[in-house]
Amino acid sequence: KQDLDRLDKDYAGGLATSATRTVALTHAAFAYPAQRYDFEQVAIIRVDPEAEPSPAQIKKVSAMVVDLGIDTIFFETLVSPKVAQTLASDLKISAQVLDPIEGLTVPDTTYFTIMESNLDALRTGMHCS
């Protein structure tokens, strides 16, 4: 319980000073943290994280990312990063990984190490001071 309380405080404090409250993700898999820590997630792929978006979807997402001033696209560890990395490259922005903790594949990885890594990525992508 103490570790969970500490993690919650780290997230609340770590994201409180963000310059942006909107993050772009390949798939809207982070609804709970978005709600709890007051940021909005915008999904690039709306239904199936394994599906390739159409050129029209990519064009629409690109315009939205530019309009919102987003400079980081997040992708999940268990999904191909190709779409996020290609879009980020085309827009000359960053692509960062967020782990939805659905598959622990790295030895010595725990819930807490993953959540701390996710917090670091969010802090960077959201420009937290």
pLDDT at residue 47, as a whole number: 54
Q: Could you write out the DSSP letters of every residue in 27-75?
A: E---HHHHHHTT-EEEEEESS-TTSPPPHHHHHHHHHHHHHHT--EEEE
Indicate the pLDDT class of residue 116, thresholds 50, 70 and 90. very high
Average pLDDT over residues 2-20: 96
pLDDT at residue 49, as a whole number: 56
Distance between CA atoms of residues 38 and 33, nearest Å = 8
3-state secondary structure of 69: coil
Average pLDDT over residues 97-114: 83
3-state secondary structure of 62: helix
Indicate the pLDDT class of residue 3, thresholds 50, 70 and 90. very high
Give tens-digit pLDDT for 42-99: 887 755 556 677 788 888 888 989 998 999 999 988 888 888 899 999 999 999 999 9
Distance between CA atoms of residues 125 and 107, nearest Å = 26
Go through the chain and tell me how many residues it has: 129
pLDDT at residue 109, as a whole number: 85
Task: Compute the half-sphere exposure of residue 40: CA atoms within 13 Å on the CB side of its CA.
Answer: 8
CB distance 126 to 25 below 8 Å:
no
